C-alpha cells in the first residue's frame, strides 16, 4: 500500500492550512487505497488571525505543529522527523500558512524564501525523484525546491503567478477542476481555493491531484 506524507502549515485558511483542502486530501488518499501520515514544522506561526473577523490577534501566538494536530486529530508528526525513505510521495496542502509559515511568500513577495525544514524535506523527495503534489498557493515553493523550468499552477492570478515565475517557475493557467502535470519532475499542482468557490469545486481538482501523484508512485 502506498504511503503519502502530507505537509500541513497550521489550522485555518488565513494563518495555517486550508482545512477543507486538508480534509479533501486525506479523504482522497484513503479512498484511492493509500495511507498517509501528516507532518508540520515545530515553529511559531507568523501570526494568528481571528477567522471570524479577519483581524490579527496581536496578543496571541500559536505553534504550527500544535495547530496542525487539530486537523490530524492529534496524529501529526514533527517535520524534522520526516524520512523520505518511508514514503512514496509528498503532498503540500494550501492555505496562507504555506505562504506565511512554510515560506515567506505572503510577506516578502519577490524576495521570499522557504523555511529550512520544509526545504530539506521537499528536496529529499525531489532528489530521489519521488512524486509531489502542491495545491492552492503551495506551488509558490516549487522554484525554490526544483531547478528552474519546473512547471506548475496557482490558477489564473497573473500578478501572483509573475512573482513565482520570477523565481523560475513556468506557470500554466489552469481551471479549478483541473491539474497541471510536470512529468519530468513528477509534480502535480491544482488551484484549489485559489479559484474554488465551494468545497465541491475544490474537491474535483484535489482528487485529480491525488490520483496523478499515486499514479506516479512506483
Q: What is the pLDDT of residues 19-55, one digit of tens each?
A: 999 999 999 999 999 999 999 999 999 999 999 998 9
CATH class of 3-216: alpha beta
Determine the pLDDT at residue 122: 98
Beta bridge partners of residue 38, listed in sequence order: 6, 76
pLDDT in tens, 84-139: 999 999 999 999 999 999 999 999 988 999 999 999 999 999 999 999 999 999 99
pLDDT in tens, 175-191: 999 999 999 999 999 99
Q: Kindly tell me if the per-residue pLDDT of 218 is higher than 80.
A: no
Q: What is the 3-state secondary structure (H, E, C) of 16-70?
A: CCCHHHHHHHHHHHHHCCCEEEEEECCCECCCCECCCCCCECCCCCCEHHHHHHH
DSSP assignment of 65-134 equals HHHHHHHTTT-EEEGGG--GGG-SEEEE--SHHHHHTSBSHHHHGGG--B-HHHHHHHHHHHHTT--EEE
Determine the pLDDT at residue 159: 94
Cα 155 to the center of its chain, rounded Å: 14
pLDDT in tens, 52-65: 998 999 999 999 99
Determine the pLDDT at residue 109: 81
Q: Catalogue the active-site residues.
A: 136
| CB-based contact 16:8 (threshold 8 Å) | yes
Determine the pLDDT at residue 29: 98
Amino acid at each position: 500500500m502506498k504511503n503519502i506524507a502530507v505537509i500541513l502549515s497550521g489550522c485555518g485558511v488565513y494563518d495555517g492550512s486550508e482545512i477543507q483542502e486538508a480534509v479533501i486530501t486525506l479523504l482522497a488518499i484513503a479512498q484511492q487505497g493509500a495511507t498517509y501520515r501528516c507532518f508540520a514544522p515545530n515553529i511559531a506561526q507568523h501570526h494568528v488571525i481571528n477567522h471570524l473577523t479577519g483581524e490579527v490577534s496581536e496578543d496571541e501566538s500559536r505553534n504550527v505543529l500544535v495547530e496542525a494536530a487539530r486537523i490530524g486529530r492529534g496524529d501529526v508528526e514533527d517535520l524534522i522527523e520526516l524520512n523520505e525513505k518511508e514514503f512514496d510521495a509528498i503532498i503540500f496542502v494550501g492555505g496562507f500558512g504555506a505562504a506565511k509559515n512554510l515560506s515567506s511568500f505572503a510577506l516578502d513577495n519577490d524576495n521570499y524564501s522557504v523555511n529550512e525544514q520544509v526545504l530539506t524535506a521537499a528536496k529529499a523527495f525531489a532528489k530521489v525523484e519521488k512524486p509531489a503534489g502542491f495545491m492552492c498557493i503551495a506551488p509558490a515553493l516549487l522554484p525554490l525546491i526544483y531547478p528552474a523550468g519546473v512547471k506548475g499552477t496557482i490558477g489564473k492570478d497573473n500578478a501572483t503567478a509573475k512573482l513565482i515565475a520570477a523565481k523560475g517557475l513556468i506557470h500554466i493557467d489552469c481551471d479549478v477542476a483541473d491539474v497541471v502535470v510536470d512529468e519530468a519532475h513528477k509534480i502535480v499542482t491544482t488551484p484549489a481555493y485559489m479559484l474554488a468557490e465551494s468545497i465541491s469545486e475544490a474537491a474535483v481538482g484535489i482528487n485529480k491531484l491525488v490520483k496523478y501523484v499515486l499514479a506516479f508512485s512506483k
